[in-house]
Amino acid sequence: MSDSPDSSRKINTHTFQLKKQRGERLTMLTAYDYPMARAVDLAGIDSILVGDSLGMVVLGYDNTLPVTMDEMLHHCRAVSRGASRALLIGDMPFMSYQVCVEDAVRNAGRFLQESGMDAVKLEGGKERIPAIMAILEAGIPVLGHLGLTPQSIHKLGGFKAQGKTAEAALSLLDDALSLEEAGCFSIVLEAVPSRVASYISQKLKIPTIGIGAGNECDGQVLVTHDLLGLFDKFTPKFVKQYSVLHQEINKALKNYQEEVIQGEFPTSEHSFIISDQEWETFLDQVGDS
């Protein structure tokens, strides 16, 4: 079978490796429901991450820590119904893999068995190697995640860039090499200085996916709600808003409200009609002719 690009072919982890070898940039976006997954898939994006960021942009939590396995699986199922081409990755939530290896494997398996994902993502470096290797041994591809790891915000002291000192950069490189050796098919680098991310990307044989990590990673990922301007609470420094749909939605909702109040909606164009004959028959039967 040819390995040439095919816009209709299902993306898999092998595709990630081929694109790295060819120097082709990878694209990844988040989705949390059927319509967004369908839109992202139709746009030709390589991979959809059902991120635990849904806790903040969909469920209204202050951070990702309250997100549960049941919530993740619910949204993953919706996404898998909406996307057929993109590589689908389920984000393992807080405490679904930290307690023990057995939990990690069991929960990773649920993403594939119960919600149609193709792979899972989990945060952390060398301390996660036993869980990663056990998940891989079960036949489940793993996407690593280094740098700013939101599930560790209390340990990190908040949403802060990582790897800004020589010592921290060395630690990131060491973790990245360890994740590659363990068998991760790719690694997300979040909120990492661009020179550090570029160096790590050059040293790895597997692709890096940057988010706030500069332009020299092998691919990029953003939260789609941020990219589209759907989430209005805050916009991270590394986000480019390609649209501001929150404002457009707000405008549309206010227009709807005004037209209802003024009696301008619905019009006959948006209403159903009963024929004059049937209406007369109705009035006769109710004695109101």
Beta bridge partners of 186: 143
**Locus of tokens 């989430």:** 231
Does the active-site annotation cover 269?
no
Contact call for residues 185 and 13 (beta carbons, < 8 A): yes
Q: What residue type is assigned to position 64 of the chain?
A: T
Tokens in use for 213?
């990590």
Query: Structure pTM?
Result: 0.93
Catalytic residue among 71, 123, 180, 190: 190
Nearest to 89 by CA among 130, 53, 55, 64: 53
- Give the chain's radius of gyration (CA, Å): 24
What is the residue-level pLDDT of the chain in tens, covering all 289 positions?
344 445 679 999 999 999 999 999 999 999 999 999 999 999 999 999 999 999 999 999 999 999 999 999 999 999 999 999 999 999 999 999 999 999 999 999 999 999 999 999 999 999 999 999 999 999 999 999 999 999 998 887 777 899 999 999 999 999 999 999 999 999 999 999 999 999 999 999 999 999 999 999 999 999 999 999 998 777 888 899 999 999 999 999 999 999 999 999 999 999 999 999 999 999 999 988 6
Domains of the chain (ranges; CATH) run 13-243 (3.20.20.60), 248-286 (no CATH)
Nearest to 150 by CA among 66, 37, 80: 66
